[in-house]
Amino acid sequence: MAPIAVGDSIPDGKLLHHDEYDQLAEVSIHSLAAGKKVVLFGIPGCFTPVCSVKHVPGFIEKAEDFKAKGVSEIILIAVNDPYVMKAFAKTYPETKFVKFLADGSAKYIRALGLDLDLSEKGMGVRSRRFAAVVDDLKVKTINLENGGEFSVSSAEDLLKAL
């Protein structure tokens, strides 16, 4: 499947996270994004070097800048289980504006056409690294990385598009 592109509508999908009461909960992407401007970004794996040290911290640090540009929410999607996502979120002191959502089976990432087979590296199917601005379910900007690169999907890169 071709990757989702500018002008496309994002599909709906059910992802898991731990809610404000620390309970496992299912959430629909459309319920988070319909009628709003949101940032969606995906990482190949929690606790991996680039994801942990550069990609995710950039969105946490720039959250107020995104908010000032009309972004309602920043949504992180990773092909990990919700318990790994919970542990990963706890490694960052300020995550209130970033939702950490688990796509354990890669079903949603596949629906976006952004799956990446890292089986040769022992990681199975994961998400390509990407960052997108979605306005009322329509992709306005999407920055996709190739392989293990981190050159176009940072928070700074996405802010430039706003």
Which residues have CB under 8 Å from 6's CB, separation 6+?
Answer: 139, 140, 141, 142
Burial of 117 (0-12, 13-18, 19+ CB in 10 A): exposed
What is the CA 81 to chain-centroid distance, rounded? Answer: 14
Sign of CA dihedral 140, 52, 100, 107: positive
Residue 11: closest CA among 112, 104, 102: 112
Neighbour count for residue 122 (Cβ, 10 Å) = 6
Output the CA–CA distances (angstroms, integers) from residue 32 to 10, 91, 99, 134, 147, in the order listed. 12, 24, 10, 11, 29
- Is 46 a catalytic site residue? no
Q: Which of 15, 51, 60, 74 is catalytic?
A: 51
User: Which pairing describes strands 24-28 and 73-78: parallel, antiparallel, or unpaired?
Assistant: unpaired
The residues annotated with a catalytic role in the active site are 51
